[in-house]
Amino acid sequence: MAATRTRRRIPPSLKPAFVVKKNGKTEAAKKKAKGSKKAPAATLIQVWPTDPMGGAPPLQVTPPQLPGAPLSTRIVDPQQTPPPQIYLTGTAEFRYWTAAEVLRRAAQFWSSFGITAWHQNIPGALPVRLDDGVDLNAYYARDAYPPYNIKQGLSFFHDTVTDTSTGQHVMVYSGESPDVVSHELGHAVLDKLKPQLFSMATTEAAAFHESFGDMSSILTALQLPQVRLAILGETSGHLWRNSSVSRLAEQLGWAIRQRYPFAVDADSLRNASNSFSYVDPASLPPDAPATQLSREPHNFSRVFTGAFLEALGGMVLTLADPPSETDVAQAAADMGRLLVAGIAAAPTNVQFFRAVAREMIAADAAIFNAKYGEALKRAFMRRKLLPLHAISAAASATATAASAASSVLTTVSLNGASVGMPGITIYAVAPAAQAMATGEAAGGVAVAYGETHAFIEQLVLRGRLAAEPQLAGAVALPFAAAPKRVTHCMVRKDSGAELHRLGFECGCCS
């Protein structure tokens, strides 16, 4: 019986572009020698766009220049560079090129804003170790500390995790995730931009470093047109929604979750699409499950990252609604510029989040003529990183009881500036007890965060408040309300405006 020869079929998409022959000539070189006018096919590598568990298949792209410049990176482990070609996922060569590609992509993005060198302690290329041993983590270190086994540059690791649902052992490499690699590279970028933060012993300084890492991951991912198209499809153009871009480091998060179910978000290491608002970190517990805010730096970083993603989504819609992938690219580039300018200008005080938020708005005014002002303010105010009265320099809220406290309900008046509408008095119906407690009857105590104020504030922030046409010119709402979402309207009353409810909403979507 004749022996049958089996031949493994390689899918065309996985075939290497060049096949080196024994005489050393490539097929492309042969064609050129024959005088073919066709350009040789470009050498391609295969990489993850965001994360091994990001849900998207690998992309085929041209290999990056190594070590590249500016912001050179040098992979020192492994020492050998595998020939650039398509490698199957799961191989060391695939991991090498997926890391090399995102290192360059992130470095190119940040260097485009004038950051062209690392911290002075790293004068040349940033050393990178793709597999420095066993750990479910990744690190950036400015300096080497041999006694501590800390190495200068970026270090990534591997570990075997037991899948709690199947019992199978799964090997995870943190350096295989573009999200993780661009997060760590972000630390190195910020260490050049704001070196004071490295040693500042405050929650916000440390948390901002983590947030910047995550923002670096998101902005680096958005440099790929395929990712921009994907996020537009997943979010219908509303980038603040949950997506493969907002979910950061899904695989590392999954691995950690197998061991510590509450240590990370339910769908990733951290999800930038969150609803955390700023509170004084001193009022938070030192650590908490990922569902809650704590003052652990990675945990607390989600406040700024959430505001960032919301602002970025607003910036995209400022450019076009519905947006195209080029609008996303433009907004990402502009956001990077605003971040760099804002961080550089921000004083390194205890409330660093708020300092950066303020400076980003100032940078937008200086660079983009306040084009993104509404998007930035809306996001930062919603997350309590800016007070609403920041819109008006003369902000002050006072409430006066407009009627006797004997009635169940009464009308209180607020200075509109306290909710972002300077120059007008706002009347609203409120329980008499509140008027007594916060109005003139109680000695004219300001109601900056009284219940009525807080209620109107959230209407403004959530785009639920509109003004009747007769008030045009008299009332300047800080944000345009979304027509379908409006629940309240401002109606002229005396020389001011009164709050009227128009309807109710389910409140489950934004």
Partner 1 sequence: MAKKTQPTPAPPEEAVEAERQFVESLVGSGQAAKRRPDGSLPPGATHELVEGDDGQMKVVRKRFSAF
Contact assessment for residue 285 and residue 258, using Cβ atoms and an 8 Å cutoff: no
Instruction: Kindly compute the dihedral angle of the four CA atoms of residues 401, 402, 406, 407, in this order, to the nearest 10 degrees.
Output: -120
Span of 261-269, 357-365, 369-377, 398-406 interacting with partner 1 by CB under 8 A: 261-269
By CB under 8 A, residue 343 contacts partner 1 = no
Distance of CA 239 to CAs 6, 110, 377, 418, Å? 49, 21, 17, 29
In order of 226, 269, 430, 470, the CA distances from 155 in angstroms are 28, 18, 58, 62
Q: Indicate whether 358 belongs to the interface with partner 1 (CB under 8 A).
A: no
Burial class from Cβ neighbours inside 10 Å (0-12, 13-18, 19+) for residue 110 reads buried
276 binds partner 1 (CB under 8 A): no
What is the C-alpha separation between 102 and 55, in angstroms, rounded?
17
Please choose, out of 7-15, 206-214, 307-315, 449-457, the segment that lies near partner 1 by the rule CB under 8 A.
206-214
Stretch that binds partner 1, among 219-227, 287-295, 305-313, 358-366 (CB under 8 A): 287-295
The 420-459 contact track toward partner 1, x by CB under 8 A, reads ----------------------------------------
Q: Find the binding residues for partner 1 in span 238-257 (CB under 8 A).
A: 249, 252, 256
Q: Which range, of 147-155, 226-234, 359-367, 438-446, touches partner 1 by CB under 8 A?
A: 147-155
**Nearer to partner 1 among residue 265 and residue 364 (C-beta):** 265
The one among 13, 137, 164, 196 contacting partner 1 by CB under 8 A: 137
Instruction: Tell me if 198 contacts partner 1 by CB under 8 A.
Output: yes
Closest by Cα among 335, 309, 318, 325 to 231: 325
Q: Which runs of E-coded beta strand occur in 215-301?
A: 247-248, 270-271
180 touching partner 1, by CB under 8 A: yes
**In the complex, least distance from residue 308 CB atom to partner 1, rounded to whole angstroms:** 18
d(CA 115, CA 130): 24
> Quick one: how far is CA 275 from the chain centroid?
13
- Counting contacts by CB under 8 A, is residue 187 touching partner 1? yes
Rg, the chain, Cα only: 27
> Contact residues for partner 1 (CB under 8 A)?
135-142, 145, 147-150, 174, 180, 183-184, 187, 198-199, 201-203, 206, 209-210, 213, 249, 252, 256, 263-264, 269, 281-282, 286-287, 294-298, 350
